[in-house]
Structure 1
Amino acid sequence: MKDFASLTIHEDLQKRLQRNGLSSPTPVQEKAIPLLLAGKDVVAQAQTGTGKTLAFVLPILQHINPDLPHIQALIVAPTRELAVQITGEIEKLRTPDIHVLAVYGGQDVERQIKKLAGATHIVVGTPGRLLDHMRRKTIDVSDISTLVLDEADQMLHIGFLSEVETIIEKTSPDRQTALFSATMPGEIRALAKRYMKKPENVQIKASQITVKDIRQIAVETTDRTKQASLRDMLEREQPFLAMIFCRTKRRASTLNAALQEHGYNCDELHGDLSQAKREKVMERFRQAKLQFLVATDVAARGLDVEGVTHVFNYDIPHDVESYIHRIGRTGRAGESGLAVTFFAPKDKQHLEMIEKGIKMKIERIERPKTEEVQADRLNREPRGKKPAFKQGGRKPARAQAKSGQGRRKR
């Protein structure tokens, strides 16, 4: 197995990686880092959770010259959450003389302008806020040496592609460009062809990510009984931390309200929430103060939270890439994980399409009956003692996190 030294990462950066518990590169890092260090343009297809952030962050940090006060690297991300996450990774590994700033909507723009007045070497931002700063002339990207487009397919999905092109056209033609994307639609390939110089292609097969440490099961239900089926599975599985995916913002909000009414420690994450609310929800989930996060695909794209033991596809995804992305939230860092997909008879074609895409059969199970769940729960409770918590003894995430319970081995 290779280490970071074999990728010619500087010794001081290796030490900072080791302090953060990182000793060996992931496949996408192993392939992309040497190309980026050599100054080549790179198009990388890799799912969230494969370590792609460090694949571009490490070469950027190694190339930054702290003595030059201007912006040397620009990283464009589709969502505020991803921009914050990337900035956090850089903060962990940078030296004190390298300065990074995240710019995104929902922040005080005047505060951002004040920070930009000082030395800033790396900017991580969303397209809309970056363009706002460029129009105000508070960000000058004409002299950057590295441009990274992260989650490019999501920028297309959200409708940011024209803004991204405007940003690219303001940068130096001599820049190095790296494009990372989970999927490669025609528009993204065309973007790469227009703005990149003989890019090297890196592709990490999705099937390697999907099946490694994640048990996948499918539960047949109906639209009418889906909520009850989900609650029964939550009671049976007793997740430590779980993400529940819905197709739309409205469905996520409706489901979250229903689960809260039944006493579940949950909250919602989707595009209709204010930035402050989204950040607060994510912080609570990362700290395990929330046990269940009900989210849409776009809101959860790029989020990497340690300790997620279960993923529930409340609404079955309609393409293989979305399925892989969703279930990749669990089974991280060698931990086991469980992905549960609910499907009605009308969804069978989508389930079969997913199975074909991941080249494996997903185990079908029957929905656990409520009385069986209750009997199983009673068998788990010590005799002669009343459960310490309501809802069948389910501990809040905070209590589970402290006690170590709730993470069940298989």
Structure 2
Amino acid sequence: MGVAAEIVDALAGHGIRHAFAIQELTLPIALKGQDVIGQARTGMGKTLGFGIPLLDRVFDDAGITELDGSVRALVVVPTRELCLQVAGDLEMAAGNLAVGGRAVTVTPIYGGVGFEAQQRALDNGSDVVVGTPGRLLDLHRQKILDLSSVEITVLDEADEMLDQGFLDDVQAILAATSPERQTMLFSATMPGPIVALTRKFMRQPVMIQADSGATEATHKSTRQIVFQSHKLDRMSALARLLQSPGRGRTIVFARTKRQAAFVAQDLAALGFRVGAVHGDMRQRDRETSLAQFRTNEVDVMVATDVAARGIDVQEVTHVVNYQVPEDERTYVHRIGRTGRAGKSGIAVTLVGWDEVTRWNAINDALGLDHADPPQWFSASPEFRQTFDLPAGVTDRVGPARKVQGAQSATAPARKSHAR
């Protein structure tokens, strides 16, 4: 496909030899320096879809200024976890790249940690920066990060940045980069403000949709199960559906940090190998929890929406919405954590009896077939049949455990009890 042999060899060294659909479509266009809009669900290979041409052009494109330690390429992402994941993927692909005897460098820039190490990395020379909007803008305003040398910019998961209120920061960042830059934007959905952003900051972008399902908010590889669950029976329903035959790694989404802590504690008390990731945890502890999930030390991760954005694990078999998400975009992002990279998955949504109206709005917006979902209890025959559970199934799977990861995983719960 015209990609530098050094990048191809680095990818092959990690077992990556074949391109996903979005990569096949994106690379020929992006390698020429054209602006690109990619609409694709998470997990379909878009990181290397923009990462490979970005690295190839930085490494060996006459249209890009020769590397001198200034930042040539910038990837903007909504969360710290996604920042680390994307930076790790780019570092892997850039493993064999060097210019003038100096290795091509990728630097993650994100909040929640001190400025010093990131400033040292920038002072030592960074060719590619992957960062979250708030910290990028902070460093730019302090004149630690010079964005004027950026000639390639990527906005990854742009709709999530909009949801988190980063749109003004993103516009300020783009305005500070080279006006002749190449811009690539990737988003699962295209709400109006994102479309307006493309019109303001992109030049004749090519729209790419990886397959016929790219325009669909949800994907046929994910089976969606939706039912009404009474709040007093919800933990039992969760505990029992987690015992479905063939269940592998599972992400349980909670709406708030406190609820994530409580749900994780309750599951651990029932014997599940469970961890938690939420905003009240220290960054180091969040990274520890995610690492344990990737290595299968825990197979259930309870997470809030923001914290889950960096969970890039291919073998997630189930996603569970412990409550109805706020809107259809949140629902799309959540269930996109399973059914990734061509594999099948199951997304389960537990609808509170006072949440039916909200769920029906999501159902209508996405054109699903789950309006007015049935009312099931954890002991209902329909529930057991749907999840292929034996008649004698109970909530408990073993002796009580502790939530894995770190003490801060249950910090909100402890604060609540202290009151």
What interval of TM-score do these two structures reach, taking the shorter chain for normalisation?
0.7 to 0.9
Under a length normalisation based on structure 1, what TM-score does the superposition of the two structures give? 0.83
- Cα offsets for 1:47-77 (capped at 9, x unmatched): 2112111111000111113862221101111
2:379 to 358, 361, 369: 369
Secondary structure of 1:267 counterpart: strand
Count residues in correspondence: 379
- Cα offsets for 1:27-57 (capped at 9, x unmatched): 3222222221111112222221121111110
Distance 1:110 1:255, change over 3 A: same
Letter in 1 for 2:263: L
Letter in 2 for 1:78: P
Residue aligning to 1:103: 109
Residue aligning to 1:296: 304
Residue aligning to 2:175: 169
What's the offset of the Cα at 1:90? 0.7
Residue aligning to 2:164: 158
- In structure 2, what is the Cα distance between the partners aligned to 1:252 and 1:17? 36
1:178-189 equivalences in 2 (<5 Å): 178-189=184-195
- In structure 1, what is the Cα distance between the partners aligned to 2:399 and 2:269? 15
- In structure 2, what is the Cα distance between the partners aligned to 1:33 and 1:112? 30
1:227 to 215, 235, 240: 235
1:37 to 31, 50, 71: 31
Distance 1:238 1:249, change over 3 A: farther
Give the stretch that moved more between structures: 91-100 or 318-327: 318-327
What's the offset of the Cα at 1:25? 2.4
Distance 1:57 1:109, change over 3 A: same
Q: Find out whether 1:339 has 2:338 as its counterpart.
A: no
Gaps of 5+ in 1: 379-389, 397-410
Letter in 1 for 2:93: L
1:312-351 equivalences in 2 (<5 Å): 312-351=320-359
Residue aligning to 1:213: 221
Residue aligning to 1:384: none
Distance 1:22 1:359, change over 3 A: farther
- In structure 2, what is the Cα distance between the partners aligned to 1:365 and 1:240? 26
Residue aligning to 1:83: 83
Residue aligning to 2:139: 133
Letter in 2 for 1:82: L
1:123 to 116, 119, 129: 129
- In structure 2, what is the Cα distance between the partners aligned to 1:55 and 1:309? 24
Give the stretch that moved more between structures: 336-345 or 98-107: 336-345
Q: Report if aligned partners of 1:218, 1:365 keep a CA contact under 8 Å in 2.
A: no
Distance 1:295 1:106, change over 3 A: same
What's the offset of the Cα at 1:259? 2.0
What's the offset of the Cα at 1:99? 0.8
Give the stretch that moved more between structures: 143-152 or 261-270: 261-270
What's the offset of the Cα at 1:209? 7.7
Gaps of 5+ in 2: 61-65, 98-102, 402-419
1:199-278 equivalences in 2 (<5 Å): 199-204=205-210, 205-206=213-214, 210-237=218-245, 239-278=247-286
Letter in 2 for 1:23: R
Under a length normalisation based on structure 2, what TM-score does the superposition of the two structures give? 0.81
Q: CA RMSD in A?
A: 2.8
- In structure 1, what is the Cα distance between the partners aligned to 2:87 and 2:171? 22
Residue aligning to 2:18: 24
Distance 1:199 1:332, change over 3 A: closer
Residue aligning to 1:385: none
Residue aligning to 2:51: 57
What's the offset of the Cα at 1:140? 1.3
Residue aligning to 2:67: 68
What's the offset of the Cα at 1:358? 5.1
Distance 1:370 1:189, change over 3 A: closer
